[in-house]
Amino acid sequence: MRPPMLRPEPLLVLLVLMAIVAAAGCAPSESSAPAPPESTAPDARRPSQADADRAPADDVVASEGHHAGTGPASPAAPAESVSSGTAAAPEKAAAAPAADTVRLQPADLVYRGTFRLPGPSGGSDWTWCGDALAYRPDGDPEGGGDGYPGSLFGFGHDHQHFVSEISIPAPVVSKGKVLADLPTAKTLQPFADVRAGHFADYEIPRAGLAYLPPQGDQTSPKLYFSFGQHMHETFKGPTLCWCEPTLADPKTAGPWRLGEFTEYVTADYLFPLPKAWADAHAGGLRLGCGRFRDGGQGSMGPVVIAFAPWQHGNPPAADTQLKAVPLLLYSSVYDEPDQQHTVRDYHHSDDWAGAAWLTDGTKAAVVFVGTKGVGKCWYGFANGVVWPEEGPWPPVPPFPNDQRGWWSTEFVRQMLFYDPADLAKVAAGTMKPHEPQPYAVMDLDPVLFSIKGKQQTQKVMACAADMDRGRLYVFERNADEDGRALVHVWEVK
């Protein structure tokens, strides 16, 4: 069954937001509407709202480098390089402090291939999934000698948001993108609900996962998870929990709040920071979180906020406000127009859905994966119809262009590369959180299986890194023949 459609935003909130957006430089107007696209595949602005594969579409034109945006400008040096996408034991410190690493470049990554996800289990499955992914170094100890040790935790179907653990088979590069060529992961732990009643009634949720071995006074590894809602403006309540990695008996603790930040910048992706780097630069704050909220309502660019729940107790009391330090954080549309700072070439329609610290111990980057808007940007419908700030309101276009939200002339899938040394400078106070900019971009479209049109969104979703081996695992949503996701694998040379 196709997930439900995105409900329209309350009119008053929408009008206020659009008035603010106008000052930010991406206001919808009739003059900004492009000619109707050749064809569309209308994904909703966030999960479970529309099927990107419902309508046929022309081939996507692969992007190269940064593209001109319509958001506020943010001065920065140009990116250094652009490359094609084809290219509970004692804890190991996977990477040295930033001073001892060099920038990881797109050319340093080798594409290892793809694998499929297993069938249903525990009342859920891997269709309409992709919100969160976490790598477990000590997972699948009996997985054999295929060169891909460890396991992955992930959230399944958006209707349940249950967690399952799977093996990692050796991926295969299928030159013809033939699904039958690909290996299939095995279920290690069936889907289970680890939320313990928290976040259960969330509408259009955002979610994150991360795994760490014991920290502080902990005696067992923990699986950390977060939840937020698509429409939860100004909410600063609890968004984070931890649980045991035994999904049938998770012993969930929390939830906790992350400083004074709203969930529009915290409640999506989670990822570990290298222990040596965190100890040297961030006071041992070993977890990073963030969220990109479309429309610029949170941060007009990717976010990294560092935190460490174990520093507040084992576990901290429910509703504890955790120390949270921003390492990367841009302005929102609610800031004064002359005080707004964005990631380079920003669009309100962008969607940075996953983040990871990717390193082999000598080269390192903080990477973000997701969808980048190209060309013009508007609020309205995929066929170029702009939703005005005041009536009269245009009629809603027929399917498949009936999804209202932020759109661009074209969408491409990319990986952004940020320098960990810049984040160290932010932690030290010598750079502001909005000053780091990506130094490189990598096009992911050439290796994806399900790109069929120019306006497909929410295809590249969550990611997770094996920092011991320099590997990155990335979800491609609804890419298998029955709607399951695929997992793509890159490795540092």
304 lies in a domain? yes
274-307: b (≥16 Cβ within 10 Å) or e: bbbbbebbbebbbbbbbbbbbbbbbbbbbbbbbb
Residue 269's nearest CA partner among 241, 289, 287, 292 is: 289
DSSP state of 41: -
| Whether the Cβ atoms of residue 420 and residue 97 lie closer than 8 Å to each other | no
Asked if 376 contacts 455 with a C-beta cutoff of 8 angstroms, the reply is no
Token pair, residue 220, equals 């067992």
E strand or H helix that includes residue 442 = strand 440-443
The answer to whether position 5 is within a domain reads no
Do residues 455 and 384 make contact, with C-beta atoms less than 8 angstroms apart?
A: no
Residue 187 lies in a domain: yes
Assigned token pair, 456: 């497909």
Q: Print the SS3 string covering 123-157.
A: CECCECCCCCEEEECCCCCCCCCCCCCCEEEEECC
Which helix (H) or strand (E) segment holds residue 265: the answer is helix 263-266
> Is 1 domain-assigned?
no
Q: Taking the chain (493 residues) in consecutive chunks of 10 residues, what is each chunk's mean pLDDT?
A: 39 42 40 35 34 31 32 41 40 47 96 98 97 97 88 96 97 97 98 95 92 98 96 89 98 97 96 97 98 96 98 98 98 91 97 97 97 97 95 93 95 98 97 98 98 93 97 98 97 96
Beta bridge partners of 324: 307
The edge-to-edge listing of strands for the beta sheet with 460-466 is: 109-116, 486-492, 471-476, 460-466
Residue 190 is which amino acid?
P
**204 within 8 A of 46, measured Cβ to Cβ:** yes
Tokens of 131: 């919100």
Q: How far does CA 281 lie from the centroid of its chain?
A: 24
- Contact yes or no for 281/424 (Cβ under 8 A): yes
- What is the structure's pLDDT at 61? 29
CA distance 362 to 493: 11
Question: Cα Rg for the chain, rounded, in angstroms?
Answer: 21
DSSP codes of every residue in 392-429: SPPPPPPTTS---EEEEEEEEEEEEEE-HHHHHHHHHT
- Report which residue type is found at 69: G
- The Cα–Cα gap between 80 and 85 comes to 16
Bond prior to 315 in cis (omega within 30° of 0): yes
Residue at 6 is within a domain: no
Distance (Å, whole) CA 204 – CA 199: 11
Number of domains in the chain: 1
Classify residue 467 as exposed, middle or buried by CB count within 10 Å of its CB (0-12, 13-18, 19+): buried
- Domain-located, residue 396: yes
Structural domain contains residue 454? yes
Show Cβ contacts of residue 340 under 8 Å, excluding neighbours closer than 6 positions: 24, 72, 300, 331, 333
C-alpha span between 18 and 2 (Å, rounded): 30
Among 277, 278, 274, 241, residue whose Cα is nearest residue 256: 241
| Alpha carbon distance 65, 337 (integer Å) | 27
100 alpha carbon, distance to own chain's centre: 27
Start-to-end Cα distance in the chain: 42
Domain boundaries, position 459: 11-492
Structure tokens at 226: 């977060």
Alpha carbon separation from 45 to 5, 231, 295, 404, 426 (Å, rounded) = 10, 11, 10, 8, 31
- Token pair 């509703």 is found at 319
* pLDDT for 1: 38
How do strand 363-380 and strand 102-103 relate by DSSP bridges? parallel
DSSP lists the bridge partners of residue 82 as 441
The candidate with the shortest Cα–Cα distance to 387, out of 14, 5, 4, 1, is 14
- Is 3 inside a domain boundary? no
Taking the C-alpha atoms of residue 393 and residue 255, their distance in angstroms, rounded to an integer, is: 42
